[in-house]
Amino acid sequence: MDKRLDIFLKSVIDYADLQCKKLERTAETQIQKEITEYKKQATEKLRSNTNREIGKIQAAAGVKAAEYEAAKRLNLVNLRNELTDGIFSDAELKIKEFTSSAEYPDFLKRSAQSLLQAIGSEIVFYIRPCDTVYADALKEIAGNAEIREDSTIRLGGIIATDKNETLRADDTLDSRLTAEKKAFFESTDLKAF
Protein backbone atom coordinates (compact mmCIF):
# COMPACT_ATOMS: atom_id res chain seq x y z
CA MET A 1 0.00 0.00 0.00
CA ASP A 2 2.99 2.30 0.65
CA LYS A 3 3.74 2.18 -3.08
CA ARG A 4 0.15 3.03 -3.97
CA LEU A 5 0.19 5.89 -1.47
CA ASP A 6 3.46 7.15 -2.95
CA ILE A 7 2.04 6.88 -6.48
CA PHE A 8 -1.09 8.70 -5.40
CA LEU A 9 0.86 11.48 -3.71
CA LYS A 10 3.14 11.82 -6.76
CA SER A 11 0.14 12.13 -9.07
CA VAL A 12 -1.36 14.76 -6.78
CA ILE A 13 1.90 16.67 -6.78
CA ASP A 14 2.27 16.42 -10.57
CA TYR A 15 -1.28 17.64 -11.11
CA ALA A 16 -0.80 20.53 -8.68
CA ASP A 17 2.48 21.46 -10.36
CA LEU A 18 0.77 21.58 -13.76
CA GLN A 19 -2.09 23.71 -12.43
CA CYS A 20 0.25 26.10 -10.66
CA LYS A 21 2.36 26.57 -13.78
CA LYS A 22 -0.79 27.35 -15.79
CA LEU A 23 -1.83 29.89 -13.17
CA GLU A 24 1.63 31.46 -13.16
CA ARG A 25 1.67 31.78 -16.98
CA THR A 26 -1.82 33.29 -17.06
CA ALA A 27 -1.03 35.73 -14.26
CA GLU A 28 2.30 36.76 -15.82
CA THR A 29 0.70 37.34 -19.23
CA GLN A 30 -2.05 39.44 -17.67
CA ILE A 31 0.42 41.39 -15.57
CA GLN A 32 2.58 42.14 -18.61
CA LYS A 33 -0.41 43.25 -20.70
CA GLU A 34 -1.65 45.60 -18.04
CA ILE A 35 1.81 46.94 -17.25
CA THR A 36 2.43 47.53 -20.97
CA GLU A 37 -0.88 49.36 -21.31
CA TYR A 38 -0.20 51.40 -18.22
CA LYS A 39 3.30 52.34 -19.45
CA LYS A 40 1.89 53.27 -22.86
CA GLN A 41 -0.66 55.60 -21.27
CA ALA A 42 1.97 57.06 -18.97
CA THR A 43 4.35 57.65 -21.91
CA GLU A 44 1.69 59.53 -23.90
CA LYS A 45 1.04 61.79 -20.92
CA LEU A 46 4.74 62.35 -20.39
CA ARG A 47 5.31 63.70 -23.90
CA SER A 48 3.12 66.70 -23.20
CA ASN A 49 4.87 67.73 -19.97
CA THR A 50 8.13 69.50 -19.20
CA ASN A 51 11.25 67.63 -18.08
CA ARG A 52 10.42 68.26 -14.44
CA GLU A 53 6.90 66.85 -14.87
CA ILE A 54 8.26 63.89 -16.80
CA GLY A 55 10.31 62.86 -13.76
CA LYS A 56 7.31 63.11 -11.44
CA ILE A 57 5.04 61.08 -13.72
CA GLN A 58 7.66 58.35 -14.25
CA ALA A 59 8.10 58.02 -10.51
CA ALA A 60 4.34 57.79 -10.00
CA ALA A 61 4.06 55.22 -12.82
CA GLY A 62 6.77 53.10 -11.22
CA VAL A 63 5.00 53.15 -7.87
CA LYS A 64 1.64 52.27 -9.45
CA ALA A 65 3.18 49.47 -11.50
CA ALA A 66 4.91 48.07 -8.42
CA GLU A 67 1.69 48.24 -6.41
CA TYR A 68 -0.27 46.57 -9.19
CA GLU A 69 2.34 43.86 -9.62
CA ALA A 70 2.40 43.26 -5.87
CA ALA A 71 -1.39 42.94 -5.83
CA LYS A 72 -1.32 40.49 -8.75
CA ARG A 73 1.40 38.45 -7.06
CA LEU A 74 -0.62 38.37 -3.86
CA ASN A 75 -3.58 37.03 -5.86
CA LEU A 76 -1.30 34.39 -7.34
CA VAL A 77 -0.10 33.38 -3.88
CA ASN A 78 -3.70 33.11 -2.68
CA LEU A 79 -4.64 30.97 -5.69
CA ARG A 80 -1.60 28.76 -5.12
CA ASN A 81 -2.50 28.33 -1.45
CA GLU A 82 -6.11 27.46 -2.28
CA LEU A 83 -4.98 24.88 -4.82
CA THR A 84 -2.42 23.37 -2.47
CA ASP A 85 -4.87 23.26 0.43
CA GLY A 86 -7.42 21.52 -1.80
CA ILE A 87 -4.92 18.96 -3.00
CA PHE A 88 -3.66 18.11 0.45
CA SER A 89 -7.16 18.08 1.92
CA ASP A 90 -8.08 15.50 -0.71
CA ALA A 91 -4.92 13.55 0.12
CA GLU A 92 -5.81 13.61 3.80
CA LEU A 93 -9.27 12.24 3.02
CA LYS A 94 -7.71 9.42 0.99
CA ILE A 95 -5.38 8.65 3.89
CA LYS A 96 -8.34 8.53 6.27
CA GLU A 97 -10.06 6.10 3.89
CA PHE A 98 -6.88 3.99 3.87
CA THR A 99 -6.78 3.84 7.68
CA SER A 100 -10.32 2.47 7.62
CA SER A 101 -9.43 -0.19 5.06
CA ALA A 102 -8.41 -3.80 5.57
CA GLU A 103 -4.91 -2.91 4.35
CA TYR A 104 -4.16 -0.56 7.24
CA PRO A 105 -3.31 -3.27 9.83
CA ASP A 106 -0.72 -4.70 7.41
CA PHE A 107 0.73 -1.22 6.99
CA LEU A 108 1.04 -0.93 10.79
CA LYS A 109 2.74 -4.33 10.99
CA ARG A 110 5.28 -3.40 8.29
CA SER A 111 5.87 -0.10 10.03
CA ALA A 112 6.37 -1.83 13.38
CA GLN A 113 8.87 -4.26 11.86
CA SER A 114 10.82 -1.41 10.31
CA LEU A 115 10.80 0.57 13.54
CA LEU A 116 11.87 -2.49 15.53
CA GLN A 117 14.91 -2.83 13.27
CA ALA A 118 15.74 0.85 13.73
CA ILE A 119 15.16 1.08 17.50
CA GLY A 120 15.84 -2.41 18.83
CA SER A 121 13.93 -4.89 20.98
CA GLU A 122 13.37 -2.55 23.94
CA ILE A 123 10.73 -0.56 22.09
CA VAL A 124 7.67 1.57 22.85
CA PHE A 125 5.07 2.02 20.12
CA TYR A 126 2.93 5.17 20.18
CA ILE A 127 -0.33 4.91 18.21
CA ARG A 128 -3.61 6.77 17.88
CA PRO A 129 -6.14 5.92 20.59
CA CYS A 130 -8.44 4.39 17.96
CA ASP A 131 -5.58 2.15 16.75
CA THR A 132 -5.26 0.35 20.08
CA VAL A 133 -7.39 -2.40 18.52
CA TYR A 134 -4.20 -3.37 16.67
CA ALA A 135 -2.09 -3.59 19.84
CA ASP A 136 -2.01 -7.40 19.81
CA ALA A 137 -0.84 -7.45 16.20
CA LEU A 138 1.95 -5.02 17.08
CA LYS A 139 2.98 -7.13 20.07
CA GLU A 140 3.28 -10.09 17.69
CA ILE A 141 5.99 -8.11 15.92
CA ALA A 142 7.82 -7.18 19.13
CA GLY A 143 6.66 -9.35 22.02
CA ASN A 144 8.01 -7.11 24.76
CA ALA A 145 6.88 -3.90 23.10
CA GLU A 146 4.99 -1.41 25.17
CA ILE A 147 1.98 0.15 23.44
CA ARG A 148 0.98 3.70 24.37
CA GLU A 149 -1.68 6.02 23.06
CA ASP A 150 -0.64 9.30 21.43
CA SER A 151 -3.49 11.65 20.61
CA THR A 152 -1.15 13.93 18.62
CA ILE A 153 -1.13 11.34 15.83
CA ARG A 154 -4.12 12.42 13.74
CA LEU A 155 -3.96 10.29 10.60
CA GLY A 156 -2.35 7.04 11.74
CA GLY A 157 0.89 5.16 11.85
CA ILE A 158 3.42 4.65 14.61
CA ILE A 159 6.00 6.63 16.52
CA ALA A 160 8.56 4.44 18.28
CA THR A 161 11.10 5.11 21.01
CA ASP A 162 13.40 2.96 23.04
CA LYS A 163 12.44 2.40 26.70
CA ASN A 164 14.72 5.30 27.80
CA GLU A 165 13.32 7.57 25.07
CA THR A 166 16.80 8.36 23.75
CA LEU A 167 15.95 7.12 20.27
CA ARG A 168 12.83 8.18 18.41
CA ALA A 169 11.50 7.25 14.97
CA ASP A 170 8.35 8.66 13.40
CA ASP A 171 6.61 6.54 10.79
CA THR A 172 3.22 8.21 11.00
CA LEU A 173 1.06 9.10 8.06
CA ASP A 174 0.99 12.60 9.54
CA SER A 175 4.75 13.02 9.14
CA ARG A 176 4.70 11.43 5.70
CA LEU A 177 2.04 13.86 4.49
CA THR A 178 3.93 16.80 6.00
CA ALA A 179 7.11 15.66 4.24
CA GLU A 180 5.23 15.33 0.96
CA LYS A 181 3.82 18.83 1.32
CA LYS A 182 7.29 20.24 1.97
CA ALA A 183 8.72 18.33 -0.99
CA PHE A 184 5.81 19.53 -3.11
CA PHE A 185 6.60 23.18 -2.39
CA GLU A 186 10.31 22.64 -2.97
CA SER A 187 9.92 20.68 -6.20
CA THR A 188 7.21 22.81 -7.80
CA ASP A 189 9.08 26.06 -7.18
CA LEU A 190 5.88 27.86 -6.24
CA LYS A 191 7.35 31.28 -5.70
CA ALA A 192 5.41 34.48 -6.08
CA PHE A 193 8.29 36.89 -5.55
Q: Are 9 and 183 contacting, i.e. CB atoms less than 8 angstroms apart?
A: no
CA distances from 75 to 15, 26, 131 (A): 20, 12, 42
| pLDDT greater at residue 38 or residue 9 | 38
Quote the DSSP letter at residue 33. H
| pLDDT greater at residue 185 or residue 173 | 173
Count of Cβ atoms closer than 10 Å to residue 68 Cβ: 14
* Per-residue model confidence as pLDDT tens digits over 56-109: 888 887 888 788 888 888 877 777 777 777 888 888 989 999 999 999 999 999
* Helices assigned H by DSSP within the chain: 2-47, 51-99, 104-119, 135-141, 173-188
d(CA 77, CA 73): 6
Q: Are 127 and 155 contacting, i.e. CB atoms less than 8 angstroms apart?
A: no
The residues near 160 (Cβ < 8 Å, ≥ 6 apart) are: 112, 115, 116, 118, 119, 123, 124, 125, 126, 168, 169, 171
pLDDT recorded at residue 98: 92
d(CA 34, CA 48): 22
pLDDT (mean) for 10-35: 75
| pLDDT greater at residue 42 or residue 175 | 175
Per-domain residue ranges of the chain: 2-100, 104-177
CATH 3.30.2320.30 fits 104-177, yes or no: yes
Instruction: Answer yes or no: is pLDDT of 49 > 60.
Output: no
Q: What average pLDDT does the structure give for the chain?
A: 83
